[in-house]
Amino acid sequence: MKKKSIARLLACALSAGMVFSMAGCGGEPADSGSVSSTPDSASGSDAASGEGSSQEETGSSQEEAQDSAAASGTEDDENLPPLKLSISVASDVDHNAAPSEEWKRLNAEIEELSNTELTWIFDGGALELLLASNDLPDIGVYGVDAIYSRACKEGYFWDLTDYIKDYPNLNAIEEMTYQNASVEGRFYGLPRIRALARNGFAYRKDWLDNLGLAEPKTIDDVYNMWYAFTYNDPDGNGVDDTVGYYTISYPDMWDQIQCWFGAPNKWGIDENGDLIPTQLTSEYKEALVWIRECYSMGLINKDFKEVDWATGTRDGVRTNKGGSANDTLDNLRKIQTYFDDEGIDAEVMLMGGIDVKGEGKYILPTSGYNRVISISRKNIQTEEDLRRVLKFLNQCMDPEIRNLIDFGWEGLTYYMGDDGYAVRYTDDEKAANGISEMKYANGANQILTYSYANEDDPAYLQVAPATAPINLLEAKLAEENVQYCIPNYGAGFSSETYNSVGGQLDEIITEGRWDYITGEIDDAGLEEVLNTWLGAGMQTVIDEMNAAYHAAGN
């Protein structure tokens, strides 16, 4: 799927790093010396060989092209000395302790391809300790949390916002992912991307067929399906032992349903253009009323608070306890894989979500990334060196280095199949080929963003995709549902009050949601919970979040 340019994100002033963690849905940056964004180049037709062009104009165009290349870091730097970089990553192998021949070769080839000299640090030290000891590496991979956000605002890392557009692979990251990984509307780290539209809904299609029901398309269809799965013996065993929806207490499962109703993904925008937490919206309340009704009718497993978070949804559906579930698409797909592997005659259908109001689907996205790659301002002091570092990170996602890190060497760690796909050797086969260290690339892959300016470039090695229908459906939904993902407009903004008392605030609103769904409290009780929540500090959080949001130009 073609990724959207980060320049469009900036133009739209969508600001967003620290994903604001609340159950229920979902200082001034230091001057970095960054350059301003420039308009897109003129179209080819405007620069055609046109009659009457003077030699002077041609020379000027060449100079502009060279200046542009220099600015973007794409100029030939073979004559420059290697760029010395220290890189801190988390790895279960410390290659410095007893470097294998494979690691030494891998590192040497990366250095040769990128004109660098790399010093690796494999313990991935805690950022708080690195800051305290004033010992940041040149490049580090960090989680986006309160400590990281504070470090960004205090000027420890380069603000990359105005540079990203010049590096095609780095600029290919989804807008929403950059938004989620930003700090006060600015981008201090390169997200290591993961699937954005990873969440979904699954139901037992064999049960649906057994009961003569059609594919659910509306929220009423879902209710009727859950009712039938609960009371009409969908597995035909003559025992009242099933429920329509099987779930756990992990907030995302409930947040997904709320998003079907159009509730914001943690933070939305109200009619005044202000940030509003999802719990204060009518859509949130509408979703809770519907879920409460389903629970009161026995359509949801009563023990959801006790069910294991790791495998509960999968186990519930594949053992015939429940007929549907929300989870990540890959976890839901594994239910069908289990049926196929065990020879069980059962079928699961995957969906992205339900169009509750006839306005299109609303889907709760993931953050779209796993940690970010940031560059130290203390160590990388000039814009020229910054651009060399960005060029290096961009180059790591070109085929030569990415293939090297992910696949290794043809004939030793992989071979090319007749179908044109790369096939990794097994560990035993690698050993027979003379490979002594099977985890030789661990750590190096942490500097890959997995974003591609041209992901269809045949030079990228690929493994053969799974061909089972359920795998193809999973991939199709993950791609086409990106357009339905709801932004978290508060992502990337922080509140000192929330940093201090966020745990208590989350507990108040989470327990209030459970108590309302399970019938422990009524509408008045839910209103009381919201008032308690606001009075305990959430109103101050809302004010602080909006101050940061509007200060970023929103």
Q: What is the β-pairing status of strands 83-88 and 190-193? A: unpaired
pLDDT tens string 491-527: 999 999 999 999 999 999 999 999 999 999 999 999 9
What confidence score (pLDDT) does residue 533 get?
98
Residues 404 and 389 both lie in one domain? yes
Query: Domain for residue 539, yes or no?
Result: yes
pLDDT interval class at 75 (50, 70, 90): low
The CA distance from 107 to 97, in Å, is 15
pLDDT interval class at 358 (50, 70, 90): confident
Query: Domain for residue 314, yes or no?
Result: yes
Residues 283 and 322 both lie in one domain? yes
- Give the amino acid at 269: I
Query: Domain limits at 502?
Result: 495-554
**Residue 79 or residue 23, greater confidence:** 79
What confidence score (pLDDT) does residue 85 get?
97
Q: Which of 30-44, 109-123, 348-362, 410-424 has the lowest average pLDDT?
A: 30-44
What confidence score (pLDDT) does residue 380 get?
96
What confidence score (pLDDT) does residue 74 get?
46
CA dihedral 519, 525, 526, 529 (to 10 degrees): -130
CATH number assigned to the domain comprising residue 373? 3.40.190.10
Compute the mean pLDDT over every residue in the chain, rounded to the nearest whole number.
87
Tokens of 419: 């179908």
The alpha carbon dihedral of 433, 438, 441, 446 has a sign of positive
Q: Are 230 and 242 in contact, with CB atoms under 8 Å apart?
A: yes
Residues 209 and 306 both lie in one domain? yes
What confidence score (pLDDT) does residue 78 get?
67
Average pLDDT in the 145-156 region? 93
What confidence score (pLDDT) does residue 312 get?
85
The proportion of the chain whose per-residue pLDDT surpasses 90, expressed as a percent, equals 80
Whether 128 shows a pLDDT value over 60: the answer reads yes
Query: Domain for residue 230, yes or no?
Result: yes
Residues 499 and 455 both lie in one domain? no
Residues 222 and 358 both lie in one domain? yes
pLDDT interval class at 31 (50, 70, 90): very low
The CA distance from 412 to 404, in Å, is 12
pLDDT interval class at 359 (50, 70, 90): confident
Query: Domain for residue 375, yes or no?
Result: yes
Residues 320 and 386 both lie in one domain? no
Radius of gyration for the alpha carbons in the chain, expressed in angstroms and rounded: 26
DSSP 256-300: HHHHHTT--SSEEE-TTS-EEEGGGSHHHHHHHHHHHHHHHTT-B
Q: Residue 118's beta-bridge partner residues?
A: 85
How far from chain centre, in Å, is Cα 45? Answer: 38
Residues 503 and 527 both lie in one domain? yes
Cα dist from 342 to 345, 470, 475, whole Å: 9, 15, 23
Residues 214 and 88 both lie in one domain? no
Q: Which of 21-35, 250-264, 280-294, 442-456 has the lowest average pLDDT?
A: 21-35
What confidence score (pLDDT) does residue 137 get?
95
Q: Are 492 and 182 in contact, with CB atoms under 8 Å apart?
A: yes
Phi, psi of 52 (to 5 degrees): 90, 0
Query: Domain for residue 122, yes or no?
Result: yes
- Structural domain total, the chain: 3
Residues 254 and 289 both lie in one domain? yes
pLDDT interval class at 76 (50, 70, 90): low
pLDDT tens string 165-220: 999 999 999 889 999 999 998 999 999 999 999 999 999 999 999 999 999 999 99
Whether 17 shows a pLDDT value over 50: the answer reads no
Residues 235 and 332 both lie in one domain? yes
Give the three-state DSSP class for 14.
Answer: coil
pLDDT tens string 307-331: 988 888 889 999 999 999 999 999 9
Whether 30 shows a pLDDT value over 70: the answer reads no
pTM: 0.82
Cα dist from 316 to 341, 421, 503, whole Å: 17, 36, 30
Query: Domain for residue 15, yes or no?
Result: yes
Query: Domain for residue 275, yes or no?
Result: yes
Give the three-state DSSP class for 27.
Answer: coil
The CA distance from 455 to 4, in Å, is 13
Query: Domain for residue 63, yes or no?
Result: no
pLDDT tens string 379-422: 999 999 999 999 999 999 999 999 999 999 999 999 999 999 99
What confidence score (pLDDT) does residue 27 get?
31
Q: Are 246 and 229 in contact, with CB atoms under 8 Å apart?
A: no
Residues 299 and 325 both lie in one domain? yes
Average pLDDT in the 122-141 region? 90
Whether 26 shows a pLDDT value over 50: the answer reads no
pLDDT tens string 243-299: 999 999 999 999 999 999 999 999 999 999 999 999 999 999 999 999 999 999 999
Residues 166 and 184 both lie in one domain? yes
Whether 112 shows a pLDDT value over 50: the answer reads yes
Whose structure tokens read 């080929």? 433
What confidence score (pLDDT) does residue 49 get?
31
